[in-house]
Structure 1
């Protein structure tokens, strides 16, 4: 059991029988009353976001979530398959579970799969990934003085706003938290 003093962003707790991730929390003290912790919780299974207030010192059940590094193999249109390199077991992950994270997963790349009671509940991405540009309009000469961007499609289907000098076949670094362009990578 953990208390409200242990709360941190990203912590997974069991709330009303469901696995919830703490998206954000705020400690507040009101006049004579005791302190309260206002939280925004996201249900890991359904994706529903709810707000709740806990009394200071209240005990909550912390979920023991294990992150295992696995290799992303392929998708068959319905499921995304990852392989555990210790047991060589292939585990299917549903597109609903992964959400927009699928745009940052390249075949044969390693991802951390979050496991709760030996069942996958999601993945943890690195803060940045390197992706190849597959489609973009060619840049126009002379537009380099201002911060002009154009849409580009990456190998995973992700659409990113990139500077005008980026061309098809270039490798770029993309932030997985917000999908923004971070820089060009060398081929």
Structure 2
């Protein structure tokens, strides 16, 4: 195990805590004007999926588990499992839907993802940072509406909803940031 400073903990890291392995879901550092800076880490135990939140001093060390990051491509889903194939040895790996969580809407066929493996088993997944999708439904453009700060809801081809600028129309392909489900730009393809 390797020590990592609490302020350097990121989403997707695997930590050892209280004798178990946990995947970090969210980590926020708080630096007050006076007092001790703290980091709040929201994480899920790999063995049974129980979520827990810990708050530690920002400079405190946490145990980071040694995991191997292996590139895989998404193939298909089979019930509650999502099947990935290793790009090097062509082994197939089943990943539970709970491990992917709400980000499953951004999973596209043949998308290259990074699976974190511990003792040969997947413990966490990192999706591509951006995906390109087509808008299936959105409100029509309103004349005189400014594009500066107003956004309108749009439904993507997979059913996910994203806020887009008012000039974007149905049928437009757009790039979406998978981390926060936000509009990035029009697709250049």
Q: CA RMSD in A?
A: 3.1
1:50 to 43, 53, 60: 53
Q: How many residues align?
A: 182
Distance 1:116 1:70 in 2: 15
Asked if the contact 1:71/1:83 (under 8 Å) is kept, the reply is: yes
Distance 2:158 2:30 in 1: 37
Q: How many Å apart are 1:102 and its aligned residue?
A: 0.8
Distance 1:130 1:73 in 2: 18
Aligned to 1:40: 41
Distance 1:168 1:5, change over 3 A: closer
Q: Secondary structure at the match of 2:8?
A: coil
Aligned to 1:124: 126
Q: Secondary structure at the match of 2:95?
A: strand
Distance 2:31 2:149 in 1: 40
Show structure 1 runs of 5+ residues with no match. none
Distance 2:182 2:105 in 1: 12
Report 1:20-99 matches (<5 A).
20-21=22-23, 23-24=27-28, 39-45=40-46, 46=49, 48-53=51-56, 61-99=63-101
Aligned to 1:148: 150
Distance 2:66 2:168 in 1: 43
Q: How many Å apart are 1:54 and its aligned residue?
A: 6.8
